Structure 1
């Protein structure tokens, strides 16, 4: 239900309206925040729906006050009474016409003429009347400075609840009751301000409530300003906090203020554990990577600091034993994960011996395949995992992004490793941000990659024999006095539980974890990434003699482009292909470097191609100019009266003549050439040069004969 004189506030834009009349299925409203506001017609049902859907909130009337007459000045009373008389005498009897848009302007103009004022003056009076409550005190000139600020007012209803203990000017302020409308305002503010990523505090939200619902709005220098009401007309912070706790939804608050991932990661109820999903060793392995909190130096020069290594670890969920480890510079990527998987099936005695650590088979007995691998989405979503799934029957379970808690066992192991590294190793990161004057811990780097790997292996061996706190022990384990260390749990699980452990040949495993690609068989060889390869089998079966190019599946190690491998159909062995002589320059490069060089070449050629087009256009233009000049010269030449037959018959002779003339131009003269000049004849009597000059002698009698023969042919001597 809605009522006349009720005030509503829009949730979308905080616009406040007053209902001034209800007429059958329509209502008339005015905007109480505008300077002047004429009535607007709205559907009754539409307004009710907005309230039910909480798009509009019912708020306290900002102009409802108890004003004592003795607190008003004579000017205020006189002004109020005069304006009220105008409303009573001239406006109320025409209210039906003034509510409707059609004819309103005419009616206002008639009232203005009767009062001898402008229509704008009448509009302002009507707006004040409608906006401020449609009563006599609505015509007071300025509510902001009236009403006896600081004095106790007589309210209609007494406030319920605990009396306030703080006094203002020696008197208690009663405050307001928290009605359903006020609760709705609280809920709206909590959803709008508190449950946002801005992370506003409850105090901030309370201030927003006062600003939006319990303040006067006015403009100053063209900007909207807010004046909070007296304390006896607003809810207190303690009231808001009390109802906030009643409306509180911790799950929703964290999801909206932080994120759903944050809630799932740090605040969700923990009612289970990882071991519940396993029935023995090898059921589930968790794999993850982290960047170690330490800086290392080069093994070639201890003065060269090269950065932080990557650690990949694989842990059995049931026993918590580390089944695979990789410390290196690959990753986090598939290459790093591939190295950890390769170590998972490796013999750990031989592996530790590479780092001068002697162990027995019983100290680290893992070299098996699991049933399921739990990993991040990045590395284990590519094409390379198909070999694990299809050929080795290993299921891959990818966790969602930013949910490290789903691999809690291996994540916890990383925290332990990094904690120990910070305590012991030089060059470890000591704190996130260094202060001025602090020594740079990177300068303390001492360990190289091999030494750091040995350090990690020492910690792994310690972990495998360390008691696991809060491990969910089974009754049978307790009865058999099993100490919950990873080694004991692994061995007990193999003997007493089903488990899913399997073994595999290491080369076959590598064949399945190496990245896969497509190569093309052509006459130039087996082409992969523009590099030609050859193999014994290809020559024997005459692959290169085929007329059509053929695509073939291969596996490759991007760190070693010297070889690629063609898996055989049975999946148990492979054919090795060697890089051909023409591309031996790339033998020591990584595949990424080779691809980069080829791309760079294409880019350079593409840049040059546009210049080549311009060169071709310029060349065509010059050729056209030369041809046109020759055509014009031929057109302007004097044509001899010879027949076509005579012209064609003279080609051989003309060529001989032309060749002889070219020889004269093209001949080499290695001795210095002295240019002979004709002597000048001077008349000593007149001191002038004689105009008579001797005839030039031909430098070649043969040329003279050729010219003579040519003149005879064309009839010049006749």
Structure 2
């Protein structure tokens, strides 16, 4: 039910309204917080529906307070009497007309003329009357706590519950009872403020309740202000907390305050374990990746930091043994996952030997395919998953988004590996946020990718022989005196549970899972990642000459660029391509490092490109300067005109003369310094020096030709 003089508050914008009249299935309301508010017409059924749906809350009348005349000033009493007299004498007879929008302005003007006041004052008095409780004390000017008791709901008994301990003037404050309306206010505030990503505390929410429902609103310097009511008119924090615990929904609170993903990841009940879904080794493998907490250096130049590597691990759920491993700079991605799957079926003795680690097969005996692989959606959706399913009969179970806990076994192992790396290796991340003045741990990077891989292999070998804490042991294991280490559980499971282990030729697996790309065929060879390869088939079929196929699909291993593979016969066989001599220098490098070097080269060329532009501009300027000077000299030397025919006819003779002239200028003279000195003649009879007054004249063929040419030109000019 909705009553006259009842105060309601909207949940969306906290707007407060008062019901001033109900008739003819209509309700007339005013905004009690506006400076001036005239009645607005609403359907009773609409308003009731909003109340029932929780869009409108029933709240206490903020103006319902007893006012003692002795506490008022003479001016306040005088203003109250004057305003009440105008309302009672001139407005009451016309209230039905004033409720209606049509004709209201005209009626207000008539009342103003009749009462001898202005229309603005009549509007102000009517607004105050309707907003503040429709009683005589509503006319008290600028008295925000004015208003009568109206029809506020009263309890049939005194406040229930424990009395408050705080006293005012020696008396206990009684407070209020928590009615259904108050509970609704609590629930509204919890949904609006507490169950939000803002993460407001309960104390904050309690303050919001007081602000929205138990305070007076007024404006000061154009800004809204709030004055909380007295303690005996508001619920206490303890009352709010008590009902909050009653209304509490932990699952909903976590999902709204944090996220549904975080609830599933960190807070959902754990009523089972991963092992319960397996019946032996090879039933389920989990695969996941993590970025290692360490910075590495380039194998080409240890002064260059290349960033943090990615570790991919494949782990058997039943035994907890690590069955596959990949450490590189690729990922987390499909490519990195494929590298780990390739290592999963590899001979671990040979794998460790590549990193100068010698082991026996018993130390790491895994080289099998599982029945099921649990992986992330992003890495195992699409790509070559169909090949795994159709050709190798492996079931791929993708975890739901942000549910890393579904691969909890391998996730925990990553935390252990990163912890060991931080303890031992230089360049490891020691803390997430460095303070001012702290040394940058990235500058301590020392290990390259190959050395760090050897470190991870060592830790994996240690894990395979380490006792697993809280492993759900079976009765038969205890009877057989099995210590729960991954190696022991693996071997015991194969013997007693059989499991679902299968083997496959590694080359066939590679054809199905290794990344595929296009290589270009040119006269220099098969070009892939700027590396050149050759193959027997390409030579026999003369690919390099015919160039019929400009590109061809190849399969490659980023960890071994010495070979790439061309699949054929519908994936049953393949053609091996090996590095040609120009690219042999890269045969022992990882593809990531080769790409890094190529990027470095491109960066250096890009940096130098601006200098090259400047050099080209300067060169062009110098060329233009030389040419312009030559043009100027030619123009100055053309005193006597010559025909075009004469110029062309003398080219051969001019060339011969110029050649002879340059031969004289370009000849080597090893005694040039002695020739430059002034010569003297010695008389052997007197042994005295004979001074030469004039230098000896000499002639040459060149000078003769020059004189002859000069004479010919002179004769022609005559």
Report the 3-state secondary structure (helix = DSSP H, G, I; strand = E; otherwise coil) of the residue aligned with 2:362. helix
Structure 1 stretch displaced more, 127-136 or 523-532: 523-532
Aligned to 1:514: 514
Aligned to 1:124: 124
Check conservation: 1:190, 1:205, Cα contact below 8 A: yes
Aligned to 1:467: 467
Aligned to 1:351: 351
Q: Deviations over 1:233-292 (max 9, x none)?
A: 111111111111111111111111111111111111001111122121111111122233
Aligned to 1:225: 225
Check conservation: 1:173, 1:231, Cα contact below 8 A: yes
Q: Deviations over 1:407-460 (max 9, x none)?
A: 100111112222233344454433333445555555655655555444433332
Structure 1 stretch displaced more, 49-58 or 568-577: 568-577
> Distance in 1 between the 2:104 and 2:423 partners?
84
> Distance in 2 between the 1:36 and 1:203 partners?
34
Structure 1 stretch displaced more, 430-439 or 475-484: 430-439
The within-5 A match list for 1:161-560 is: 161-296=161-296, 307-436=307-436, 438=438, 440-442=440-442, 449-518=449-518, 535-538=535-538, 540=540, 553-557=553-557
Aligned to 2:611: none
Check conservation: 2:63, 2:147, Cα contact below 8 A: no
> Distance in 1 between the 2:717 and 2:469 partners?
115
> Distance in 2 between the 1:344 and 1:571 partners?
20
> Distance in 1 between the 2:446 and 2:325 partners?
22
> Distance in 1 between the 2:354 and 2:601 partners?
37
Report the 3-state secondary structure (helix = DSSP H, G, I; strand = E; otherwise coil) of the residue aligned with 2:555. strand
The within-5 A match list for 1:17-36 is: 17-36=17-36
> Distance in 1 between the 2:566 and 2:177 partners?
82
Deviation at 1:364, TM superposition (A): 1.8
Cα 1:15–1:668 shift into 2, 3 Å = farther
Q: Deviations over 1:579-624 (max 9, x none)?
A: 7899999999868579989999xx99xxxxxxxxxxxxxxxxxxxx
> Distance in 2 between the 1:179 and 1:508 partners?
74
Check conservation: 2:281, 2:500, Cα contact below 8 A: yes
Deviation at 1:547, TM superposition (A): 10
Structure 1 stretch displaced more, 393-402 or 558-567: 558-567
Structure 1 stretch displaced more, 293-302 or 329-338: 293-302
Report the 3-state secondary structure (helix = DSSP H, G, I; strand = E; otherwise coil) of the residue aligned with 1:380. coil
Deviation at 1:51, TM superposition (A): 1.6
Check conservation: 1:72, 1:146, Cα contact below 8 A: no
Deviation at 1:299, TM superposition (A): 6.2
Deviation at 1:342, TM superposition (A): 2.4
Cα 1:118–1:109 shift into 2, 3 Å = same
Cα 1:332–1:252 shift into 2, 3 Å = same
Cα 1:92–1:542 shift into 2, 3 Å = same
Cα 1:145–1:511 shift into 2, 3 Å = closer
> Distance in 2 between the 1:184 and 1:532 partners?
76
Instruction: Tell me, yes or no, if structure 1 residue 86 matches structure 2 residue 86.
Output: yes
Cα 1:395–1:599 shift into 2, 3 Å = farther
> Distance in 1 between the 2:492 and 2:293 partners?
35
Check conservation: 1:384, 1:516, Cα contact below 8 A: no
Structure 1 stretch displaced more, 660-669 or 268-277: 660-669
Deviation at 1:561, TM superposition (A): 6.6
Report the 3-state secondary structure (helix = DSSP H, G, I; strand = E; otherwise coil) of the residue aligned with 2:466. coil
Cα 1:534–1:485 shift into 2, 3 Å = closer
The within-5 A match list for 1:498-647 is: 498-518=498-518, 535-538=535-538, 540=540, 553-557=553-557, 564-577=564-577
Check conservation: 1:522, 1:546, Cα contact below 8 A: no
Deviation at 1:125, TM superposition (A): 0.5
Deviation at 1:184, TM superposition (A): 1.3
> Distance in 2 between the 1:517 and 1:427 partners?
34
> Distance in 2 between the 1:550 and 1:307 partners?
36
Check conservation: 2:64, 2:147, Cα contact below 8 A: no
Cα 1:105–1:497 shift into 2, 3 Å = same
Q: Deviations over 1:652-699 (max 9, x none)?
A: xxxxx9978976899957679xxxxxxxxxxxxxxxxxxxxxxxxx99
Report the 3-state secondary structure (helix = DSSP H, G, I; strand = E; otherwise coil) of the residue aligned with 1:217. strand
Deviation at 1:162, TM superposition (A): 1.4
> Distance in 1 between the 2:518 and 2:438 partners?
53
Q: Deviations over 1:310-331 (max 9, x none)?
A: 3222110011111122334443
Q: Deviations over 1:490-524 (max 9, x none)?
A: 11211222422111222222222221235688999
> Distance in 2 between the 1:324 and 1:214 partners?
65
Check conservation: 1:519, 1:553, Cα contact below 8 A: yes
Check conservation: 1:383, 1:516, Cα contact below 8 A: no
Deviation at 1:91, TM superposition (A): 0.8
Report the 3-state secondary structure (helix = DSSP H, G, I; strand = E; otherwise coil) of the residue aligned with 1:409. helix
> Distance in 2 between the 1:443 and 1:521 partners?
43
Cα 1:432–1:410 shift into 2, 3 Å = same
Cα 1:446–1:576 shift into 2, 3 Å = closer
Q: Size of the alignment, in residue pairs?
A: 625
Structure 1 stretch displaced more, 335-344 or 580-589: 580-589
> Distance in 1 between the 2:554 and 2:306 partners?
34
Cα 1:19–1:375 shift into 2, 3 Å = same
Cα 1:398–1:701 shift into 2, 3 Å = farther
> Distance in 2 between the 1:548 and 1:443 partners?
51
Cα 1:581–1:498 shift into 2, 3 Å = closer
Aligned to 2:670: none
Structure 1 stretch displaced more, 42-51 or 243-252: 42-51
> Distance in 2 between the 1:361 and 1:665 partners?
87
Check conservation: 1:493, 1:499, Cα contact below 8 A: yes
> Distance in 2 between the 1:542 and 1:131 partners?
97
Check conservation: 1:21, 1:29, Cα contact below 8 A: yes
TM-score by length of 2: 0.77
Report the 3-state secondary structure (helix = DSSP H, G, I; strand = E; otherwise coil) of the residue aligned with 2:565. strand
> Distance in 1 between the 2:418 and 2:137 partners?
74
> Distance in 1 between the 2:502 and 2:407 partners?
22
Cα 1:302–1:94 shift into 2, 3 Å = closer
Report the 3-state secondary structure (helix = DSSP H, G, I; strand = E; otherwise coil) of the residue aligned with 1:144. coil
Report the 3-state secondary structure (helix = DSSP H, G, I; strand = E; otherwise coil) of the residue aligned with 2:507. helix
> Distance in 2 between the 1:266 and 1:485 partners?
27
Structure 1 stretch displaced more, 504-513 or 90-99: 504-513
Deviation at 1:155, TM superposition (A): 9.5
Aligned to 1:63: 63
Cα 1:431–1:539 shift into 2, 3 Å = closer
Report the 3-state secondary structure (helix = DSSP H, G, I; strand = E; otherwise coil) of the residue aligned with 1:391. helix
Deviation at 1:227, TM superposition (A): 1.2
Cα 1:659–1:594 shift into 2, 3 Å = farther
Instruction: Tell me, yes or no, if structure 1 residue 111 matches structure 2 residue 116.
Output: no
> Distance in 2 between the 1:519 and 1:296 partners?
30
Check conservation: 2:16, 2:31, Cα contact below 8 A: yes
Check conservation: 1:284, 1:373, Cα contact below 8 A: yes
Aligned to 2:49: 49
Check conservation: 2:65, 2:146, Cα contact below 8 A: no
TM-score by length of 1: 0.77
Cα 1:667–1:248 shift into 2, 3 Å = farther
Check conservation: 1:215, 1:226, Cα contact below 8 A: yes
Cα 1:424–1:279 shift into 2, 3 Å = same
